[in-house]
Every structure is written in C-alpha cells, then in structure tokens.
Amino acid sequence: MGAGEKGTEPIAILGYKKHNPMQLTYLEAIRQGIWEEMDRDPSVFCLGEDIGIYGGAFKVTDGFIDRFGPERVIDTPIAESAIVGAAFGASLTGMRPVAEFQFMDFIGCAFNQISNMVAKTHYLWGAPAPLVLRGPSGGYVHGGPFHSQNPEMWFVHNPGLKVICPATPYDAKGLIKAAIRDNNPCIFFEHKYLYRRIKGEVPAEDYVVPIGKANLVREGRDLSIITYAAMVHTALEAAEILSKDGIDIEILDLRTVSPLDREAIAQTVRKTNKVIILHEHSRTGGLAGEIAAIINEEAFDDLDGPIVRITGLDSAVPFSPPQEEHYLPKVEGVVREARKLKAY
C-alpha cells in the first residue's frame, strides 16, 4: 500500500485533502475515484499500456505506481485481447481489475473476449465478473478515424455488460467508483474532449452515483433533449441560446447507456411532449433509434411532434478539422432543430 495507514492521511500526491470539497477537472475526478477505490480495497488493481511509470496516455494513472507499486499498477504489452483476458481471469478469482485502453477505438481488438467471454460468464455459470474496462473515446480533438470513435453501441447490444458514459466530474467520479464496486463487467467511456476542459464541484466524502439512473440536468417546459457524455454540454449551451428566445429546454443526461433509464426517458417526454435525441456517434443503429422505440412504447400518446434525432454522420470520423466539424453535432444545429420542433 505504500507509506501510511490506509484511509488516515491526505492523498498528497493528488493534491487534495479528503475533508474539503473540490473543483476538479473531469480527468482528475476519474483519477481520484480509481485511487480511492484502490486505497479502500486491496483487491482493486490497474493494468494497461504505459499506465505505470509513464502514468497513462492521458495521465489518469500518474503517480499510481509510486503509491501502490508495480504489483497493483501493471504495464502490459500492446495487446488489448490479452489485457481483457488477464483482467477477466483475475476477476473470476475475486480481484477487481481496472483495465485501461489508451483509446477506446482499440477495444475492438478485444471484442471476442468481451462479447463471448466477459459478457456471458454470469449467464453461463453464475460467476460474477467484477472488472472495469475504461479509456478515452469521442471526437472534437481532430484525432481522425482511429482515435475519435464512440464505440459504446458495439457493447450496448451485448447483454451482460453495463455501459457508462459520464458527462461531469461529479458523475465521472461517482460512476467509476460504482463500476469498480459492481459485480458485473462495466465498460466506462471517458470523453477525451472533456478531460481538461470542464471542471465541477466534487464532494470530498465517499460517494457513488447509481448505475442505470439518468440525471435531469436542466428543467424546462417546451421540449426535452435526451443526451449523454460531451453532448450534455452542447445541449446546455444550446439551451442558453434558446432561452433568449423564450424557449425553455429540459435536458436529460442518461449517464448510463446500458441499462437505460426508461422511466426517466418517458417522464421527460410526458412533461414537455416534444423531444430531441442527441448523440455524437453515427445515426444508423445509434442509441437514438432505441430511445425513440422506448418513447413509442411508453409515451407515444404524449407526443405533440415528431421525434428528432441529431447525431454524427454515417461515416468514419474525419481527421481534417473542417470535415470533423461537419461530421459532428454542433450547438447551432441543436438550436436550429429545437426552434423548428417548438414551432411544429
């Protein structure tokens, strides 16, 4: 564990004391969440490419190896399938591994391990598999087609997995802690655009955010925007612009995309009667279609207008900044569609 008795000293290497509330970046909130769980539970350990001495591609695990040692902060070969296989095996022995992908785009290299082994083990023979697969996803950073994808829907369609996409530092910390404690395999997508661009107040005391519960981040009366991850901030910015026109937007942050909070989805539609579904990944087979089906099943009679989808294009994510800007949803697009729907 390193020097000091667990839980009795400030975590100096992270630059905070446990007794004071903090303004944290999205990245720092995730760091602290993992750190605190490793401090709390010796069965938690990290593994991944360059997470030890280097501290991770985005420095999420910076300083961890000094505190917890190389037996609990394990550098691996560049082999995502092997990383997931090792984490899965460790989880079956009672450990709680947290495996990092340098970019979530490369989680596809471990797809067989995840979809055919990790996701099915509890169904096949009742064994818990308490592992977390985490890493950066998303665009707006000009990373091109191999470093800017949003692969969450690859796994939403795999029963047995929990898929988490936080939008704020508070949720990022609370959800990573909840994922580590969960006895089911969790895939934790961290939007890289948010890592150092947003800050939020995070309680000093221990807390978790429940997996599978959406959060109403803005109340409104005219129409609802259902979204998650970086698009929550796009929706909030659009809502501020629309408020100047007297259009009152409600925003529901899903936080977890599998399982979905069907009750919260239906409730916001019943309240405002009009809905936009906003997500960054491509349209065909995207989460918007599933949410539209839920609304059709749960709140069809409450609709006073068509369900509107605002999504990325059915294309690879371009590297060129102007092309990426064209590919991805933008605030002005949300504002335009909201005005049209309000007037419908």
Reported as a pLDDT band with limits 50, 70 and 90, residue 18 is: low
Residue 131 confidence (pLDDT): 98
75-78 LR contacts (CB < 8 Å, sep 24+): 75/47, 75/48, 75/49, 75/50, 75/51, 76/47, 76/48, 76/49, 77/49, 78/49
In whole angstroms, what is the distance from residue 192 CA to residue 214 CA? 21
CA 343, 235, 196: angle at the middle one, nearest 5?
165
Residue 334: phi and psi, rounded to 5, are -65, -45
Pairing of strands 275-282, 223-227: parallel
In a domain, 235, yes or no: yes
Cα four-point dihedral sign 209, 190, 215, 157? negative
Instruction: State the DSSP string of 205-226.
Output: S-----TT--EEEE--SSEEEE
Q: For residue 304, what are the domain limits?
A: 215-342
233 and 198 assigned to the same domain:
no
How far is the C-alpha of 121 from the C-alpha of 155, rounded, in Å?
A: 15
Residue 4 pLDDT level (bands cut at 50, 70, 90): very low
| SS3 of residue 267 by DSSP | helix
Looking at 168, 202, 236, which one is the last position of a domain?
202
Cα–Cα distance for residue pair 277/231, rounded to 1 Å: 10
Helix-then-strand count for the chain, H and E: 12, 14
Write the pLDDT tens digit of every residue in 83-135: 999 999 999 999 999 999 999 999 999 999 999 999 999 999 999 999 999 99
- CB 98 within 8 Å of CB 140: no
Same domain, 117 and 54: yes
Pairing state between β 199-202 and 22-25: antiparallel
Domain end position, chosen among 164, 179, 202: 202
Task: Based on the residue annotation, tell me whether 157 is a catalytic residue of this protein.
Answer: no
Give the gyration radius of the chain's Cα atoms. 20
**E strand or H helix that includes residue 249:** strand 249-253
User: What CATH number did the domain enclosing 239 receive?
Assistant: 3.40.50.920
Catalytic residue among 142, 147, 279, 281: 147
> How many domains does the structure of the chain reveal?
2
Task: For residue 16, give the DSSP letter.
Answer: B
Co-location of 27 and 110 in the same domain: yes
Single residue among 178, 202, 226 that ends a domain in this structure: 202
283 and 226 share a domain? yes
Indicate whether 9 belongs to any domain: no
Residue 7 confidence (pLDDT) above 70 = no
The CATH number of the domain holding residue 168 is 3.40.50.970
What does the alpha-carbon distance between residue 230 and residue 146 come to, in Å, rounded to a whole number? 19
Could you give the 3-state DSSP secondary structure of residue 71? Answer: coil
Residue 90 and residue 147 in one domain: yes
Collect all residues with Cβ–Cβ distance below 8 Å to 184 and sequence separation of at least 6. Answer: 122, 128, 129, 130, 160, 161, 162
Q: What is the pLDDT of residues 270-321, one digit of tens each?
A: 999 999 999 999 999 999 999 999 999 999 999 999 999 999 999 999 999 9
